[in-house]
């Protein structure tokens, strides 16, 4: 359809839209969703895209590609925001601001047990256990666990270990565990320590200190000086921790500090978390979209996108401090998701102001690092394009795939494929290939199998994305396998390059071997292009060797089970079915193993010793 006809059809569709809240989708050629948005009034919002002047070059570029529009009417603005968020995550439209934060946030967990253990947990916070968080990073959780062990000496061991201890472990000897496993502390006193831990994690440190001081005095009056000394040590440890944190007491308030910074065409949101008055650290997050010069108020758009995506599934704190004024839709969404009114502060006072200033500073620093790294990556990519003689104008369009083979004396052979595109490694596109049916240690056959499986599958797909360059970690022999695969597939527009290790396998002495007949190239250790090649090759090696080690460990553990006298195929099947795998069986206690049909107590002890030897 010609542009005039397309525009007339779109305007007719817009005229028929209702003035109700909902979600709209701009769709381009090949039915590809370009952009998903929410609206309080669908007719007004969608029509605004087709005015004569658009302030955002990014949106203007998107509108020029729109072929049709789809809408979904919702009952409220908050519902529209939630649906918009779900569609953005599912469809990943090119022109939406998408935060690629796939990692769930970790929690500190107190298990449901007569003697609860303190543990690191990542996942949905459900069940009878007590969860504290979320925390911005694994480091923050582990630091809090360390504080709990230091002050309150709660156990951190698995239940299977706890049930089978006969003497205290090293943590008890260094005053990090009260050793309930061997009766060094009774259930009542341990429960009291658990209660104090909960109060501490909820920010009620003053109450904990007051209660400990009362206990210490009571023990002293009853001439129980050893117990008084233990409580005194707890007071000392807790006081030291509170002094080191040097954070003004805010009671048990939970606060998120959201700092948004935009510079150099990119944005950063620095999220800091305060739980129970304790600052748990921060995490910088970067949306996928770049902003062109002339964008008006992109920070507002970034903040709204972050709010809708981050808080769609996660816990919402009592207070959100942000350096950008949130729009009414975002505030309504937060209140609806939380089921209560959330305090939104743009100009906080006292401690919250200090935290916001820190957040803005950290966001600026993280964004500066990203821009510097992006500049270096673009420079390296441009130099590699020139070295390889490719006709690629935009460095972001260069796609490189690199293969490596890893095994130990022919055991557990795996091949890896890593991807470099858009000037950075694309970890979500990495692939591993389990190699089978070859002679152990035959790297040529392994490479041939991996390349055939990878590109044979691409050849069958109509919309497959092919690389511009395929790097092979190896010399002429490995490169010959790639040549054979691409000749059989009839593909001749992909550059095949072998990366041969130099003398002594030293970095910087590698030689690039080309399949198209040109002379091998030794770029030298100062070459930016070779630095990029080495980075991609090393990532392929790391990805291959970690997969190989995991596969080898699984094979060896299974072999251990097979080698145990008295454990035949039927008993082995029952054990693996009962526990779900060798790793879970290793974590089981002797009593748990003995509960499996056909496994005696003596055999259970043998299995336990063998798997832990």
Nearest partner of 398 among 533, 231, 542, judged by Cα: 533
Contacts of 284 (CB under 8 A, 6+ apart): 268, 269, 270, 271, 362, 363, 366, 367
77-91 and 298-310 helices, crossing angle to 10°: 90
Nearest partner of 351 among 331, 326, 321, 325, judged by Cα: 321
pLDDT exceeds cutoff 50 at 245: no
pLDDT tens-digit readout, 200-243: 777 766 677 777 677 777 767 777 677 677 767 767 666 655 54
What mean pLDDT comes out for the span 337-357?
Answer: 89
pLDDT tens-digit readout, 464-482: 889 999 999 989 999 999 9
d(CA 10, CA 18): 15
d(CA 500, CA 257): 49
The C-alpha angle 88, 94, 98, rounded to 5 degrees, equals 45
pLDDT exceeds cutoff 70 at 71: yes
Q: Which residue has the tokens 């996660």?
A: 314
Nearest partner of 397 among 451, 456, 460, 469, judged by Cα: 469
What mean pLDDT comes out for the span 105-134?
Answer: 86
pLDDT exceeds cutoff 80 at 452: yes
Output phi, psi for 201, to 5 deg: -70, -20
The CATH topology of domain 255-369 is Nucleotidyltransferase; domain 5 (3.30.420)
Among left, alpha and beta (phi > 0; psi -120 to 50; other), residue 102 is: alpha
Tell which wins on pLDDT, 15 or 53.
15
46-55, 325-334, 504-513 — which is least confidently predicted?
504-513
Helix/strand/coil for 403? strand
d(CA 480, CA 186): 69
Kindly state the helix (H) or strand (E) to which residue 570 belongs, with its residue range: helix 569-579
Sheet of strand 319-322, all strands in order from the earlier edge strand to the far edge: 278-285, 266-275, 255-263, 319-322, 343-345
What mean pLDDT comes out for the span 161-166?
Answer: 86
Check if the beta carbon of residue 603 is closer than 8 Å to that of residue 567: yes
Same fold, 255-369 and 395-552: yes
Most confident by average pLDDT, 74-88, 142-156, 446-460: 446-460
Give me the CATH code for the 395-552 domain, please: 3.30.420.340
pLDDT value, residue 102? 52
pLDDT value, residue 91? 86
pLDDT value, residue 551? 61
pLDDT tens-digit readout, 410-427: 677 889 999 999 899 998
- As assigned by CATH, the class of the 563-611 domain is mainly alpha
Domain boundaries, the chain: 3-91, 255-369, 395-552, 563-611
Check if the beta carbon of residue 202 is closer than 8 Å to that of residue 276: yes
Average pLDDT value for the chain: 84
What mean pLDDT comes out for the span 287-303?
Answer: 75
pLDDT exceeds cutoff 80 at 258: yes
pLDDT exceeds cutoff 50 at 244: no
Most confident by average pLDDT, 377-381, 408-412, 546-550: 377-381
pLDDT value, residue 58? 79
Share of the chain above pLDDT 70, in %: 87
Tell which wins on pLDDT, 310 or 225.
310
pLDDT exceeds cutoff 50 at 375: yes
What mean pLDDT comes out for the span 520-528?
Answer: 86
Output phi, psi for 497, to 5 deg: -135, 130
pLDDT exceeds cutoff 50 at 248: no
Two structure tokens written together for 157: 């061991």
Most confident by average pLDDT, 166-170, 251-255, 558-562, 577-581: 166-170
Two structure tokens written together for 359: 């957040």
Letter string b/e over residues 492-526, b meaning 16 or more CB atoms within 10 A of that residue's CB: eebbbbbbbeeeeeeeebbbbbbbeeeeebebeee
Neighbouring CB atoms inside 10 A of 373's CB total: 12
Two structure tokens written together for 491: 């593909």
**Is the CATH number 3.40.1440.10 carried by domain 3-91?**
yes
The DSSP result for 222-240, as a single string, is TT-HHHHHHHHHHHHHHHH
What mean pLDDT comes out for the span 79-106?
Answer: 80
70-74, 110-114, 262-266, 268-272 — which is least confidently predicted?
262-266
Tell which wins on pLDDT, 130 or 7.
130
pLDDT exceeds cutoff 70 at 335: yes
What residue ranges in 227-366 does DSSP mark as E strands?
Answer: 255-263, 266-275, 278-285, 319-322, 343-345
pLDDT value, residue 429? 92
d(CA 246, CA 425): 39
Share of the chain above pLDDT 90, in %: 29
pLDDT value, residue 221? 73
Nearest partner of 69 among 24, 134, 128, judged by Cα: 24
pLDDT tens-digit readout, 478-516: 999 999 999 999 998 999 999 998 665 566 678 999 999
pLDDT value, residue 591? 82
């Amino acid at each position: 359809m010609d542009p005039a006809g397309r525009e007339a059809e779109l305007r007719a569709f817009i005229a028929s839209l209702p003035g109700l809240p909902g979600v709209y989708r701009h769709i381009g050629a090949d039915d590809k969703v370009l952009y998903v948005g929410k609206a309080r009034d669908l007719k007004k919002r969608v029509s605004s895209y087709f005015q004569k002047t658009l302030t955002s070059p990014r949106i203007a570029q998107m509108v020029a590609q729109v072929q049709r529009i789809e809408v979904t009417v919702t009952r409220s603005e908050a519902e529209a925001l939630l649906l918009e968020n779900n569609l953005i995550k599912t469809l990943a439209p090119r022109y939406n601001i998408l935060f690629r934060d796939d990692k769930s946030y970790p929690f500190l967990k107190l298990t449901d047990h007569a003697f609860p253990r303190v543990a690191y947990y990542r996942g949905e916070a459900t069940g009878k256990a007590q969860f504290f968080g979320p925390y911005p990073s694994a480091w923050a959780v582990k630091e809090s666990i360390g504080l709990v062990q230091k002050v309150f000496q709660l156990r951190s061991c698995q239940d299977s270990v706890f049930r089978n201890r006969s003497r205290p472990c090293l943590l008890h000897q260094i005053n990090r565990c009260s050793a309930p496993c061997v009766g060094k502390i009774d259930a009542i006193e341990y429960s009291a320590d658990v209660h104090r831990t909960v109060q501490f994690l909820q920010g009620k440190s003053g109450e904990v200190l007051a209660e400990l001081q009362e206990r210490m005095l009571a023990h002293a009056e009853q001439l129980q000086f050893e117990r008084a000394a233990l409580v005194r040590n707890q007071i000392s440890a807790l006081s030291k921790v509170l002094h080191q944190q040097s954070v003004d007491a805010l009671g048990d308030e939970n606060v998120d500090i959201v700092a948004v910074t935009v510079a150099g065409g990119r944005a950063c949101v620095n999220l800091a978390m305060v739980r129970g008055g304790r600052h748990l650290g921060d995490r910088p997050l970067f949306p996928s979209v770049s902003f062109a010069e002339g964008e008006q108020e992109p920070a507002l758009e970034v903040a709204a996108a972050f709010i809708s995506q981050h808080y769609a599934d996660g816990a919402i704190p009592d207070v959100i401090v942000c350096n950008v004024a949130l729009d009414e839709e975002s505030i309504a969404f937060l209140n609806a998701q939380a089921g209560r009114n959330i305090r939104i502060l743009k100009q906080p006072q006292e401690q919250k102001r200090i935290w916001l200033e820190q957040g803005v500073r950290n966001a600026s620093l993280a964004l500066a690092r990203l821009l510097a790294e992006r500049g270096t990556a673009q420079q390296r990519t441009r130099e590699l394009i020139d070295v390889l003689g490719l006709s690629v104008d935009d460095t972001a369009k260069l796609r490189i795939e690199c293969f490596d083979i890893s095994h130990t004396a022919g055991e557990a052979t795996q091949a890896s494929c890593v991807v470099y595109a858009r000037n950075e490694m694309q970890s979500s596109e990495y692939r591993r290939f389990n190699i089978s049916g070859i002679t152990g240690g035959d790297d040529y056959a392994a490479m041939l199998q991996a390349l055939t499986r990878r590109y044979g599958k691409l050849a069958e797909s109509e919309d497959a994305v092919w690389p511009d360059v395929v790097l092979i970690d190896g010399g002429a022999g490995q490169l010959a396998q790639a040549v054979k695969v691409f000749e059989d597939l009839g593909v001749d527009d992909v550059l095949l390059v072998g990366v041969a290790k130099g003398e002594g396998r030293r970095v910087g002495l590698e030689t690039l071997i080309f399949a198209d007949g040109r002379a091998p190239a030794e770029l030298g250790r100062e070459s930016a292009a070779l630095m990029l090649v080495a980075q991609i090759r090393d990532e392929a090696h790391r990805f291959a060797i970690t997969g190989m080690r995991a596969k080898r460990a699984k094979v060896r553990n299974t072999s251990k089970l097979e080698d145990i006298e008295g454990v035949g195929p039927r008993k082995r099947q029952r054990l693996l079915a009962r526990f779900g795998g060798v790793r879970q069986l290793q974590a089981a206690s002797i009593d748990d193993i003995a509960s499996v049909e056909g496994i005696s107590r003596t055999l259970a002890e043998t299995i336990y010793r063998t798997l832990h030897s």
